[in-house]
Structure 1
Amino acid sequence: MLTLNAKFREERGEKSNILRKNDYLPGIVYGKEIGSLPIKVNYKDFERTWQKTGEGTVINFKLEKKEKTSEYPVLIRAIQKDPLSEKFLHVDFYQLPMDREVEVTVPLIFEGEAPAQRDLGGVLIKNLHEIKIKALPKNLIAHIKVNVSSLTKLYDSTKIKDLSFPKDIKILADTEDIVVLVGKAEEEKIEAVPEEIKPEEIGVVGKEKKEEEEEKK
């Protein structure tokens, strides 16, 4: 289990911007036992933790408050990012009751190469990118691996039921749902470009129509 160090945050409101300039990320940690506490974590430490865990892995959260350190199992519950720079602005941690199952969404990681794509010119279509699961905090996983090397023919597919999951994980999705398949690449159809109409031909057409109208009078 990864450990993330945090400190109780005295800075509030606009002072949070000062924290960010000093490479700290403001946030809160909340839960039934801990209540709701303002905290701050080192920005680079959090960034490394986020890359390894996302929202689906339990983190050992070491909180320092008034020279006393307490440890809690937490999940990253929500993050806020700057829409332009993509930098983290705020983070919420949820303190878990270890004896209660929780629901989380876990990302899929695709591995290998599909022979039907490599040898037959197929197109790899990823229908799902994450799956919702339920488990006790100690049994949660960071991601689910999907190996596509078994897709040897066009229209071969992998369904949720074909994936490997730890026995303590409950899948909160239809196991018949297709995760990934190899489709057939559509041939591009080039439409015939209509021949350019010459200006003189437009004139002739207009002249003939005018003559027809005069004959009817």
Structure 2
Amino acid sequence: MNEYELLAEPRVGGGKGAARRLRREGMIPAVLYGAGKDTVSIKLNANDVHKRLENEAFYSHILDIKVGSQGTQAVLKALQRDPTTDRVVHVDLLRVSSSQEITMHVPLHFAGEDACPGKKAGGVANHLLVDLEISCLPKDLPEYIEVDMSAMDIGDSIHLSELVMPEGVTLLALAQEPDHDQPVVSLQHSQKFEEEEEALLEEGEELEEGAPAEGTEGEAAPPTPEEGDES
């Protein structure tokens, strides 16, 4: 089995009790949907899933999903995790069609940071974004978007409009709102960076004090057919 392949088994029954039993057996409930086909309830080996999630590229790569003798291509659309253990408790897989564009979040890779003039002068990089939402055909799906920091000096910043997108890939933030050209990374004097970090922490603490406690994982997921499942 290659690093972008998952072996699955059909899953029958739903609800919290069935999901808990599966997890005790070392399996993770999942759904496979999209491409104009019916949603299929499946189960995945928990160890296989967690091992593959150690590879960052797995999150933004076309995956081969094999259910018995049937194979299909899909992408990892959503994960739900236990808020206490951080273990994956449900997986959503979206089938892909070679002729239909998909929307995905892909990570940013910051290249040339350590060698840039600003870093050598004692500056500190502030990574304002860590991933981007893009749209493309499955064949054009990149594993990551590179941010070239090699020429940055203290006081410089790189905005969305300055990123070089691979051919066939649309950056949705600018496609939907051309004026929403936010910075991706900035390079600042270390003292200024620390002051901004402290301000952000204080703001976060104030928000937490005024907000009700949340008991569920914050990652959004498409609706699943098991209304009563722990997903």
Change (3 A) 1:90 1:100: same
> Displacement of 1:55 after TM fit?
4.2
> Do the aligned partners of 2:8 and 2:66 also contact (CA within 8 Å) in 1?
yes
SS at match of 2:48: helix
Aligned to 1:183: 188
Q: Is it true that 1:56 corresponds to 2:39 in the alignment?
A: no
Give the paired residue count.
Answer: 184
* Structure 1 match to 2:40: 37
Q: Structure 1 residues 96, 183: closer, same or farther in 2, change over 3 A?
A: same
Partner of residue 8, structure 2: 6
Stretches of structure 2 lacking an aligned partner (at least 5 in a row): 196-231
State yes or no: 1:130 paired with 2:131. yes
Q: Which residue of 1 aligns with 2:106?
A: 106
Deviations 1:113-165 (A, max 9, x none): 153454322121112211121100121122223343332x2112333344343
Note the 1:1-217 alignment, pairs <5 A. Answer: 2-13=4-15, 14-52=17-55, 53-64=57-68, 69-112=69-112, 113-151=114-152, 153-174=153-174, 176-186=181-191
- For the 8 Å contact 2:119–2:125, the answer to whether it is kept is no
Q: Which has the larger radius of gyration?
A: 1
Checking the alignment, whether the CA contact within 8 Å between 1:106 and 1:142 is kept in structure 2 is: yes
Q: Residue 60 of structure 1 aligns to a residue in which SS?
A: strand
Within 2, Cα distance between the matches of 1:34 and 1:139? 23
CA drift of 1:10 comes to 2.6
Distance 1:62 1:162, change over 3 A: same
The TM-score with structure 2 as length reference comes to 0.70
Q: Measure, in 2, the Cα distance between the counterparts of 1:119 and 1:55.
A: 33
Q: Please give the TM-score of this superposition, normalised by the length of structure 1.
A: 0.74
8 Å Cα contact 2:111-2:147 kept in structure 1: yes
RMSD: 2.5
Amino acid at match of 1:62: K
Higher relative contact order (CA 8 A, sep 6+): 2
Further displaced range: 20-29 or 41-50? 41-50
Q: Are 1:160 and 1:178, in contact at CA under 8 Å, matched by a contact in 2? A: yes
Offset of residue 82 of structure 1: 0.5
Q: Which residue of 1 aligns with 2:200?
A: none
Write the deviation string for residues 141-198 of structure 1: whole angstroms up to 9, x where unpaired: 22223343332x2112333344343212122233854221211233799xxxxxxxxx
112-121 or 38-47, larger mean C-alpha shift: 112-121
